[in-house]
Amino acid sequence: MPDRLDPMKKSEVLAYLKREKDPRGMAHWKAHAEASGGLTSYGIGLTRLRKYAKGIGPDAKLAKALWNSKVYEMRVLSLLVDDPKSMTMEQAERQVEELHGGYLSHVFSSCDATLAKTPFVVELLQTWTKSKDPVRRGCGYALLYEVSKWKKKAVPDEAAFLAHIAKIEKSQAKEPVSVRMAMGAALMGMGKRSKTLNAAAIKVCKKMGPIEFDPTGKCEPFDVLKHLMGPQLKKRLGT
């Protein structure tokens, strides 16, 4: 997509979605309507949406317009094109209440989420991982995973990460699958940072075991331990 001087409009985004709709994806969406949160879909995959969003660039005004839609892809694009510099804690708290099912949570809080690039993300994840709301807890741990990947930004110190690992160890067995999956991702991210964090994360992962998340059995369980004990990582950390 060529660079544009004029802002993208919601109507243009809708025209794109209609033009690029995927019948197979739409059929899959309809087959899992119970998890859709009442949203409709054009069946377009996240990879294609990310590429399209990259061509749009940060646009807080468009993001707000797209969020006010019952179309799944519009909401995804809203999360992808929002401007982290203009996002607020109040906006995050409002949007987490409007995720309409689990599909949007992943884009909202993980997968290189825009929310993870805001200046208040560390404060937000600290609050959400302690929340009584499982959706917030899942998003909080997903944000923790994103923060754990930082290399150049000011990250929490090792003690802070160890505290999160200890909290996961204490509470993971009682959590729903969605939160355990986010916890697993956070353990994977933190456990790749240092020798000390790796040892602490491995200890917890041995207790958790592989996380079963697909009731149909078609997908392999999420085995975090395998990621933390790979030969290349062990060599890098000197373990």
The pLDDT tens digits of the residues spanning 111-134 come to 878 999 999 999 999 999 999 999
| Same domain, yes or no: 35 and 119 | no
Report residue 175 as tokens. 């959590």
Measure the CA–CA gap between 111 and 105, rounded to whole angstroms.
Answer: 10
The angle, 0 to 180 degrees and rounded to 10, between the axes of the packed helices 158-171 and 134-148 is: 140
* Whether 125 and 236 share a structural domain: yes
CA 140 centroid distance within chain: 9
67/193 Cα distance (integer angstroms): 35
Which pTM value belongs to this model? 0.92
Does residue 228 surpass a pLDDT of 80?
yes
Report how far Cα 228 is from the mean position of its chain's Cα atoms.
Answer: 20
For residue 33, pLDDT over 80 is answered with no
| 118 and 39 fall within a common domain | no
Whether 237 and 132 map to the same domain: the answer is yes
Same domain, 157 and 234: yes
- Is the domain of 149 the same as that of 72? no
Residues 118 and 201 in one domain: yes
Residues 138 and 51 in one domain: no
Domains identified in the chain, total number: 2
Residues 66 and 146 in one domain: no
Residue 136 falls inside a structural domain: yes
Q: Which residue range forms the structural domain that includes residue 55?
A: 9-83
Contact call for residues 41 and 66 (beta carbons, < 8 A):
no
